[in-house]
Amino acid sequence: MKLGIIGAGKLGITLAQLALKAGYEVAVSGSGDTQKIALSVKVLTPGAIAMTTKDVAQWAEVIILAIPLGKFRQLPVESLKGKIVIDATNHWPEVDGPREEIIPETLSSSEAIQQFLPESRVVKAFSHMGYHELRDWARPAGSDERKALALASDSNQATTNVAAIVSDLGFEPVILGSLSHGRILEPGQQGFGLVTSATKLKELGN
């Protein structure tokens, strides 16, 4: 599978490393000129390709948003049509400003992104753990130490596809429900920061 990662920060690089280890083809984009990230992508994620965001969106079958929430309106809507888009964003006031100035209080981040990308299939995932936890806790299927990672989506097929990616990258997928359930995974909510078993994580969706 061709996996695209929009965002070349610590989260994006960590996800690229995990995906490469799992055998995926990976492309990464940052903000601005590709040359700005080409060297770090080559050194930190050997085998991955540095591309522009538009090229990543066109090239990949599944795209992960590893960007601050406030940047989602800069995404290339046309290039993401028909694609599965994994929302790994989080709202950080020091970067984004007040949340209510970005999206309505009544919406989860994933619902807002789905509205912005109406012809994409959005899945919330890879957001409630920090990059260091994703890096340190990835384990193969069947491992006693394997941790759970939550998903939320309005698309059953997209959920199935992303659950397989979550498993490949080293975590037990737990489906919480629709995109509205993604709110409990955001900063300040009960699911954010959880590094736990599938049994305990499933309780959030009840």
Asked whether the CA dihedral 136, 141, 144, 150 is positive or negative, the reply is positive
- The per-residue pLDDT for range 79-118, each reduced to its tens digit, is 999 999 999 999 999 999 999 999 999 999 999 999 999 9
Tokens 């492309």, residue located: 27
Distances (CA, A) of 81 to 60, 117, 205: 12, 7, 29
Q: Which amino acid is located at 101 in the chain?
A: E
pLDDT, average across residues 59-87? 97
| Torsion, Cα of 103, 109, 112, 117 (10° steps) | 140
Helices (H) and strands (E) in the chain, counts: 8, 8
Neighbour count for residue 137 (Cβ, 10 Å): 15
pLDDT band (50, 70, 90) for residue 155: very high
Tell me the C-alpha distance between 59 and 149, whole Å: 26
Topology, domain 2-205? Rossmann fold (3.40.50)
pLDDT at residue 30, rounded to an integer? 92
Strand partners, 157: none
pLDDT, average across residues 174-197? 94
pLDDT at residue 204, rounded to an integer? 77
pLDDT band (50, 70, 90) for residue 189: very high
pLDDT reading at 199 higher than 80 = yes
pLDDT at residue 180, rounded to an integer? 96
pLDDT, average across residues 150-170? 97
Comparing CA positions, the residue from 87, 21, 29, 25 lying closest to residue 61 is: 25
The least confident of 16-20, 28-32, 46-50 is 28-32
pLDDT, average across residues 22-34? 92
Average of per-residue pLDDT values in the chain: 95
Q: Which amino acid is located at 112 in the chain?
A: A
pLDDT band (50, 70, 90) for residue 135: very high
Tell me the C-alpha distance between 168 and 185, whole Å: 21
pLDDT reading at 205 higher than 80 = no
* Collapsed DSSP state (helix, strand, coil) of residue 171: coil
